[in-house]
Structure 1
């Protein structure tokens, strides 16, 4: 009987300790700094669905459109700077806005980056019949004359997609301002431009290429990931392994107000770490079209700030900011 009581006590302790992870996150909220639909909404839905067990209940999603994140970062630097219950969705585009001053006085040091939802990666894409069979083939031509190859993507000069081309050129100490770049209204138009011959190289994303693999229309010369990606991209080299210091992970994640107490911040970190270890989280991220990137806490905060610093340097070199 005594052994049974001990076992029961241990079992009860295990049951109690699991939900204790988030007992003091009373009203969990994810702020999507845009209208419903799109990437910020998707990022909050991942948190809403993926953290439900760890939070012991539902998370509210609040939409806060304005300035592609500008309204939200302003609010979390004024009236909600120490809110312990709210997280805000961001992306690499948000980091670029911080780097180029599009959020006004608020930058990377005015938030506490918390955790990632997942990531996509940039890719260097050509038509299947392109004379550029490898990234080296392409870059040899670009190094001789950056303006001789027409590149394009779904974003204007200074945008996230433009930055992919810029860091590729910068890896060979070339001036991004000298490249020929065509801006399209979205990735779909850019792909049409590539297939139609109006551009020769498309700086797109790996995720959007899934449906095009094996069609015989396009080829990925390299991914802009730190290491090789899993199938169906395992045979595609990274720019880095080919000798080009060019990475562009398209991070989706969350930040909190800069004055949030360490205790509250660390509780959220623990919640994410617990979710990262589950099959449910991995499946959710995959189903939402992202690749796994499980990074949280101080390590994640430092990593995001380094990314902003690097983006700032590239933007200055390109004449986008003074």
Structure 2
């Protein structure tokens, strides 16, 4: 998935192309969080609510539509709200996995219109500070020669986002995802506690959650699963790619609309996000919400989603999650 970081010059150019006073005329703009209040979908909609405020004529209202980790909303926006031009719905990389594995029913990634991103987090390979694994290569060597000898753990069951990170590492090491010795936990906090306690050796988590542990010196990040090095405080951490391993994992957060939305209504939202991306204020909103800059809208996001779906489907087939 393409990682986009706007330079100051590009941001300036985009700012000239889309001045702050050019507001999208969207009737009763709404962001649907397909879950109860709190959590990632709520956070995603808050980014739209705050970050788009200068770029839409009316305030974005956040509403909630829980059910099936996004399944209820996905079905609603493929049936009776398929042409709703006033509403966007929050999604994540986990939503893409649910689409692939059939948890969202008969509709697929081509049934909706992908609008824009809110930001992203990136996968990371994490060990204890006193681990014998000094580099990512050390981990990959053991995964290659003795995969059952490496205890990998994370906050998610088989088929989850965190499991997928380990599966990608296992595949890059020359094995199959089902060879991985994986321990599932209820969440990232439990997985980190297990890592600190010695129950697992490698945690395939998210780099964004590592700040307090890096400051305390309890954990080390051997590699980030991003296309290029991140900004501080992660700028000293090498990517997996620069260490010779072609593994990326972007925890994408963004928005879709119903598949029958008109081009005009769709473009209003795309233009609003494009204008917001060019401002420092939007970057501050992302930072405040714990997201890293990953700014794509319209056709660019369509292409990124298609590429991500292809990769996720390949891994899911290899792992026996789908046929």
TM-score, structure 1 normalization: 0.93
Q: What do the CA deviations read for 1:224-276 (whole angstroms, capped 9, x no partner)? A: 00100111111111011111111001010000111111111111111001111
User: How far apart in 2 are the matches of 1:85 and 1:246?
Assistant: 37
- Alignment check: 8 A CA contact 1:21 1:270 kept: no
Stretches of structure 1 that go unaligned for 5 or more consecutive residues are: 1-13
Moved more, 99-108 or 147-156: 99-108
CA distance in 2, matches of 1:276, 1:298: 15
Match for residue 178 of structure 1? 179
**Greater mean alpha carbon deviation, residues 53-62 or residues 41-50:** 53-62
Looking at structure 2, the residues matched to 244 and 169 of structure 1 have their Cα atoms a distance apart, in angstroms, of 11
Matches within 5 A, 1:1-322: 19-23=21-25, 25-322=26-323
CA distance in 1, matches of 2:297, 2:169: 28
Q: Distance in 1 between matches of 2:22 and 2:198?
A: 58
Alpha-carbon distance between aligned partners in 1 of 2:100 and 2:71, rounded to the nearest angstrom: 13
Query: Post-superposition shift, 1:56?
Result: 2.2
SS at match of 1:294: coil
How far apart in 2 are the matches of 1:289 and 1:259? 33
What is the number of equivalent residue pairs in this alignment?
306
1:10 maps to which residue? Answer: none
Deviation beyond 2 Å, 4+ runs, structure 1: 17-21
**1:274–1:20 CA distance, 2 compared to 1 (3 A):** closer
* 3-state SS, counterpart of residue 72 of structure 2: helix
Q: Which moved more, 1:226-235 or 1:167-176?
A: 167-176
Pairwise CA RMSD: 1.3
Please give the per-residue CA displacement for 1:190-245, whole angstroms capped at 9, x wherever unaligned: 00000101000001100100111132211000000010011111111101111111
CA contact (8 A) 1:19 1:56 kept: no
Alpha-carbon separation, structure 1, partners of 2:63 and 2:241 = 39
Describe the superposition over 1:101-141 as per-residue Cα deviations: whole angstroms up to 9, x where unpaired.
11111111111111000000000000111111000011111
Q: Structure 2: state its 5+ residue gaps.
A: 1-15
Larger radius of gyration: 1
Which secondary structure does the structure 2 equivalent of 1:139 belong to?
helix
Give the conservation status (yes or no) of the 8 Å contact 1:99–1:309: no
Instruction: Calculate the TM-score normalised by the size of structure 2.
Output: 0.92
